[in-house]
Chains A and B, each alone.
Chain A
């Protein structure tokens, strides 16, 4: 699976949009981009995933560049409860033999 690069930490004011970047320049054409987050003392939580088109769900939006070498996770109105470590993961196509490799992620701190 391709490696990802994320900033170690970011700050965001409550109510503002949080834009978390991820570089995955070695991504293969059939690999998906997944985002998870881990709130302190909890297990990781799936947020969203995509292949090439932008995706949106009730939690976040995922913007993937046209060349697919980077992506941005957007939390449109960050709250204090969004403070967590966010992981960007590249994963091979849906397969029972493909797993998730977690890196160090980005620690997002949302402040009042």
Chain B
């Protein structure tokens, strides 16, 4: 099993540009989570999906952030337009629905200049 796959692993972009982060969950998992980690705020849940349906997006910082899950094997987190304060490591995790055992990907380190 390849685990949760995230791409890209590193992204450097300029303020105002659109950024798209991608995630492939573990096959068979039906819950998917997007987290953001910074030194100041720690690890924060942004949004999560059950069976491809967004359940709670209260952690999404503002309208510049959006997430989609068009099918069970793919999700995206988009930031448009990006700002320097969006610089962070973004993690995707997946699990069986109802389980507290989440499997995290390696993360995407985003730097917005």
**B-contacting residues of A (Cβ < 8 Å)?**
32, 34, 38, 42-46, 49, 89, 91, 94-104
* Main SS class of interface, A: loop
- Is B75's beta carbon under 8 Å from chain A? no
- Is B82's beta carbon under 8 Å from chain A? no
Contact B100 A100 (CB under 8 A): yes
**How would residues 17 to 55 of chain B score, 1 for a CB under 8 Å from any chain A CB and 0 otherwise?**
000000000000001010000000011110010100001
Contact A94 B103 (CB under 8 A): no
Contact A96 B45 (CB under 8 A): no
Contact A96 B98 (CB under 8 A): yes
A96-B50 contact in complex given A43-B106, A43-B107, C-beta closer than 8 Å = yes
> How far apart are the CA atoms of A21 and B38 in the complex, in Å?
24
**Contacting residues, chain A, for B99 (C-beta < 8 A):** 94
Q: How many residues of B contact A (CB 8 A)?
A: 24
Please tell me which one of the listed residues B4, B45, B50, B98 contacts residue A100 in the complex, with CB atoms under 8 A apart.
B45
> How far apart are the CA atoms of A38 and B102 in the complex, in Å?
13
Contact A34 B107 (CB under 8 A): no
Contact B98 A42 (CB under 8 A): no
> How far apart are the CA atoms of A38 and B105 in the complex, in Å?
12
Q: Give, as a whole number of angstroms, the nearest-CB distance from B14 to chain A.
A: 24
Contact A103 B42 (CB under 8 A): yes
Contact A43 B100 (CB under 8 A): no
Contact B107 A99 (CB under 8 A): no
**Contacting residues, chain A, for B56 (C-beta < 8 A):** 97, 99
Q: Nearest 4 CB-CB pairs, A to B?
A: A43-B104, A102-B43, A96-B97, A94-B98
Contact A43 B91 (CB under 8 A): yes
**Contacting residues, chain B, for A49 (C-beta < 8 A):** 100-101
> How far apart are the CA atoms of A82 and B45 in the complex, in Å?
25
Specify which of A46, A89, A104 lies most central, judged by the most chain B CB atoms within 10 Å of its CB. A46
> How far apart are the CA atoms of A90 and B104 in the complex, in Å?
18
Contact B100 A34 (CB under 8 A): yes
**Contacting residues, chain A, for B42 (C-beta < 8 A):** 102-104
> How far apart are the CA atoms of A94 and B97 in the complex, in Å?
8
- Is B93's beta carbon under 8 Å from chain A? yes
